[in-house]
């Protein structure tokens, strides 16, 4: 088509020139014979009077010769263009084969091709140094693998970000965030749609991993290289990795589009900075755009910091850890081996777990561990006061110095020490601070996506199916959902991330299931004291506690030996309690005011149980879940406590 158009452009001026010459010759011939004919018959050009007829014949021959020459030129041009086209295609093919083997790392594509590039009709004219165009077929897998290996070896390690591989421009299932909720959703999607293509985008450099061991088992490992291997022994002695799956479980992001059986790809060190919900696409921090069919937001949360620390300056911030990720664990482990004193600010789950972990290390290295919080005792916002005080004494026995009712007024750096001044005038000097004061849900995408953020609890507001929009779901710490029993809530625990991620994945494949699950959470203060909780556990609510004498099997260590797993929600979330039936011959309830070996604490609102803590009582969570689900008033909670068999030896 293009060749014919080019020939026409060349022949048109020649044709017009020939026609003009013919008209002029006829006009001159008419003048020579003393007449001005408007039209001269063709026969007169050869039979007219002497003089005029001869000129006409000459011009006719001239026009015929011009026409024959033009036709010959057109034929030769067409043949030449065809030969040049075949040579060009052969040259392009040979260049492609050479470039797949010898192409340097600097020529690796860093941006995905446009969505419509593959539909372009005519191939572009490539320059010798350019990479293959998107319209050309891909190289064989063996050659592509060799190219990727060569590129990774040649890429410099000094700059901010290495050269990225060719990323998919479209992902049928796009999961934003690389935590527990995203992994649970990916596994659920693949279970219901075995050929699904799932892309996880995370701003962390690591594959999906579980966070609880970062403040629990990893600190009790005897392996000096635990910060590198990230493998740990559970309380039951079994060893496992912090990662949900090894790298071989996933496929490369650049291979996702061509994967015949689908798969899960993880794009690390990339952050989604903008969402176009109408166009069903996102933009990454390197300006790459990826479109999607279904999207899950599982961005988790960001550790809070104290404003007095943020205002204290760079020297203080350099000596402060906000504990959340693998890098934070590695950093704090290094600090604990090189510093003389560490102060933990916060008396909640994370602060108390880290205090116990570092406290045990202090007996070996002489490290001073200080924990300060505004409450009267550890977990003062969760546990009733008597149990909080007992827990505080337990933490002290681990080698931790407790400073209760401590409100930080200012923090400064002086004489190679951090000085923490409290509002009551007390002064604490330390080498390093760990701020464990809560989590802020990550809702950075709310503005660009036009999603609603809950003003009371934070996080993205979702419906009963965890949907924020028709093709957008939210799971994990960032989801503010409606609980049919307890009202609107936002939960920041591992089990909730597992279950909400799993349900979101099912609904992304068309399940349309409501979220009714009462998620649990657990905390261990070492291998000997632990508890599991469900529902609303707030120390400001009325509580009723029933306790019994503990035995050797009433510890986190014994519980994991029985269940075979250290992440207790992995086993208990699949169980259900069809009915809560008390044992045939229950033992009488025993109240022990001084020693709380094991027991059940009920949290009440309007005389209805809305929360339960199982204190050193394990593998009974389905019963607690059913009690809260039933939502009934109980005249005697001692009788309800018997359902958990706490009086059995």
Least confident of 374-378, 416-420, 595-599: 595-599
**Beta strand pairing call for 417-422 and 408-414:** antiparallel
The answer to whether residue 564 scores a pLDDT higher than 90 is no
- 139-150: average pLDDT: 35
The answer to whether residue 21 scores a pLDDT higher than 60 is no
What is the per-residue pLDDT for 434?
98
Most confident of 148-152, 567-571, 618-622: 618-622
Q: What is the DSSP string of 569-634?
A: HHHHTT---S-----SSPPPP---SS---EEEEEEEETTEEEEEEEES--S-HHHHHHHHHHT-B-
% pLDDT > 90, the chain: 56
The answer to whether residue 442 scores a pLDDT higher than 80 is yes
The answer to whether residue 311 scores a pLDDT higher than 60 is yes
Distances (CA, A) of 375 to 305, 321, 378, 388: 18, 21, 7, 10
- 286-308: average pLDDT: 96
What is the per-residue pLDDT for 549?
84
What is the per-residue pLDDT for 126?
38
The answer to whether residue 541 scores a pLDDT higher than 90 is yes
Contacts of 529 (CB under 8 A, 6+ apart): 391, 394, 555, 556, 616
What is the per-residue pLDDT for 291?
97
In contact, 166 and 190? CB cutoff 8 Å: no
- 197-220: average pLDDT: 94
- pLDDT higher for 642 or 235? 642
User: Residue 417 pairs with which residues in a beta bridge?
Assistant: 414
Q: What is the DSSP string of 417-478?
A: EEEEEETTS-EEEESEEEE---EEE--TTHHHHT--B-TTT-SEE--TTSEEETTEEE-GGG
- 117-134: average pLDDT: 37
CA dist., res. 141 & res. 259, Å (int):
12
CATH, domain range 304-440 = 3.50.50.60
**Beta strand pairing call for 239-241 and 263-267:** unpaired
- 549-567: average pLDDT: 64
- pLDDT higher for 638 or 126? 638
- pLDDT higher for 218 or 107? 218
Q: Quick one: fold of 170-208+244-300+442-509?
A: FAD/NAD(P)-binding domain (3.50.50)
The answer to whether residue 584 scores a pLDDT higher than 50 is no
In contact, 171 and 211? CB cutoff 8 Å: no
- pLDDT higher for 597 or 92? 597
The answer to whether residue 284 scores a pLDDT higher than 60 is yes
What is the per-residue pLDDT for 74?
73
- pLDDT higher for 527 or 542? 542
- 591-600: average pLDDT: 69
The answer to whether residue 346 scores a pLDDT higher than 90 is yes
- pLDDT higher for 372 or 50? 372
In the chain, domain spans: 170-208+244-300+442-509, 304-440, 520-643
The answer to whether residue 303 scores a pLDDT higher than 90 is yes
What is the biggest distance separating any 2 CA atoms in the chain, rounded to whole angstroms?
Answer: 144
Distances (CA, A) of 251 to 254, 264, 266, 267: 9, 6, 8, 10
What is the per-residue pLDDT for 596?
82
The answer to whether residue 111 scores a pLDDT higher than 80 is no
- Token couple for 609: 């149980």
Distances (CA, A) of 83 to 87, 123, 325: 6, 17, 62
At the fourth CATH level, which superfamily is domain 520-643? FAD/NAD-linked reductase, C-terminal dimerisation domain (3.30.390.30)
- Token couple for 602: 């009920």
Q: What is the pLDDT of residues 363-409, one digit of tens each?
A: 788 899 999 999 999 999 999 999 999 899 989 988 999 999 999 99
Sheet order of strands, 543-548 included? 520-524, 530-535, 608-615, 598-605, 543-548
The three-class DSSP label of residue 53 is helix
Least confident of 306-310, 433-437, 645-649: 645-649
The answer to whether residue 42 scores a pLDDT higher than 70 is no
The three-class DSSP label of residue 558 is helix
Write down the mean pLDDT value for the chain.
79
Residue bearing tokens 């390093």: 432
What is the per-residue pLDDT for 516?
85
- Token couple for 428: 């604490």
Residue bearing tokens 């979702």: 462
The reported pTM is 0.70
CA dist., res. 186 & res. 506, Å (int):
9
Contacts of 494 (CB under 8 A, 6+ apart): 180, 210, 211, 212, 521, 567, 569
Return the H-helix or E-strand segment holding 479: strand 479-483
Q: Tell me, yes or no, if the two domains 170-208+244-300+442-509 and 304-440 fold the same way.
A: yes
pLDDT band at 69 (very low <50, low <70, confident <90, very high): confident
- pLDDT higher for 94 or 202? 202
């Amino acid at each position: 088509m293009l060749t014919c158009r080019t020939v026409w452009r060349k022949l048109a001026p020649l044709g017009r020139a020939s026609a003009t010459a013919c008209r002029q010759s006829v006009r001159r011939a008419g003048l020579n014979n003393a007449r001005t004919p408007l039209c001269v018959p063709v026969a007169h050009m050869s039979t007219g009077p002497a003089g005029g007829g001869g000129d006409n014949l000459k011009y006719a021959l001239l026009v015929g010769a011009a026409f024959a020459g033009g036709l010959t030129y057109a034929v030769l041009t067409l043949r030449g263009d065809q030969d040049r086209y075949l040579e060009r295609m052969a040259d392009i093919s040979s260049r492609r084969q050479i470039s797949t083997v010898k192409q340097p790392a600097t020529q690796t594509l860093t941006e995905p091709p446009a969505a419509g590039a593959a539909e372009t009709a005519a191939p572009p004219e490539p320059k010798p140094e350019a990479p293959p165009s998107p319209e050309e077929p891909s190289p064989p897998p063996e050659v592509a693998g060799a190219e990727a290996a060569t590129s990774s070896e040649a890429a410099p390690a000094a700059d901010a970000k290495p050269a990225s591989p060719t990323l998919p421009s479209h992902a049928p299932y796009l999961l934003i965030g690389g935590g527990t909720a995203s992994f649970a959703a990916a596994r659920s999607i693949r279970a219901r749609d075995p050929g699904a293509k799932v892309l996880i985008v995370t701003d962390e450099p690591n594959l999906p991993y579980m966070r609880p061991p970062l403040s629990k088992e990893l600190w009790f490992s005897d392996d000096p290289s635990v910060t590198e291997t990230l493998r740990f022994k559970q309380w039951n002695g079994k060893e496992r990795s912090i990662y949900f799956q090894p790298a071989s479980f996933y496929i490369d992001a650049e291979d996702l589009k061509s994967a015949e059986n689908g798969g899960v790809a993880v794009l690390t060190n990339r952050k989604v900075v903008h969402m176009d919900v109408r166009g069903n696409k996102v933009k990454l921090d390197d300006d790459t755009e990826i479109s999607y069919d279904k999207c899950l937001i599982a961005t988790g949360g960001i550790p809070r910091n104290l404003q007095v620390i943020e205002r204290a300056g760079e020297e203080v911030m350099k000596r402060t850890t906000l504990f959340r990720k693998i890098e934070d664990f590695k950093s704090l482990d290094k600090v604990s081996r090189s510093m003389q004193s560490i102060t933990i600010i916060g008396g909640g789950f994370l602060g108390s777990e880290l205090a116990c972990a570092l406290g045990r290390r202090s007996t070996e290295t002489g490290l001073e561990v200080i924990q300060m919080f505004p409450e009267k005792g550890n977990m003062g916002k969760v546990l009733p006061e008597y149990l909080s005080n007992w827990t505080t004494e337990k933490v002290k026995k681990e080698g931790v110095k407790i400073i209760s009712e401590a409100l930080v007024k200012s923090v400064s750096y002086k004489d190679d020490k951090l000085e923490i001044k409290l509002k009551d005038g007390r002064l604490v000097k330390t080498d390093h601070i760990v701020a464990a004061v809560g989590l802020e849900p990550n809702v950075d995408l709310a503005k660009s996506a036009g999603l609603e953020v809950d003003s009371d609890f934070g996080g993205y507001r979702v419906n009963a199916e965890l949907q924020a929009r028709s093709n957008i779901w939210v799971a994990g710490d960032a989801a503010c959902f409606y609980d049919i029993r307890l009202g609107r809530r936002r939960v920041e625990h591992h089990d909730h991330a597992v279950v909400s991620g799993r349900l979101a994945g099912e609904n992304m494949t068309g399940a349309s299931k409501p979220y009714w699950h009462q998620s649990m959470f657990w905390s261990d203060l070492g291998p000997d004291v632990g508890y599991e909780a469900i529902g609303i556990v707030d120390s400001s609510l009325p509580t009723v506690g029933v306790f019994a004498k503990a035995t050797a099997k009433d510890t986190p260590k014994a519980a994991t030996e029985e269940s075979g797993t250290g992440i207790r929600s992995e086993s208990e979330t699949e169980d259900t309690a069809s009915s809560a039936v008390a044992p045939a011959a229950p033992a009488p309830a025993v109240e022990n005011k001084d020693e709380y070996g094991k027991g059940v604490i009920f949290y009440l609102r309007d005389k209805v149980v809305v929360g339960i803590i199982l204190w050193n009582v394990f593998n009974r969570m389905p019963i607690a879940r059913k009690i809260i689900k039933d939502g009934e008033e109980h005249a005697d909670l001692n009788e309800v406590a018997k359902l958990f068999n706490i009086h059995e030896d």
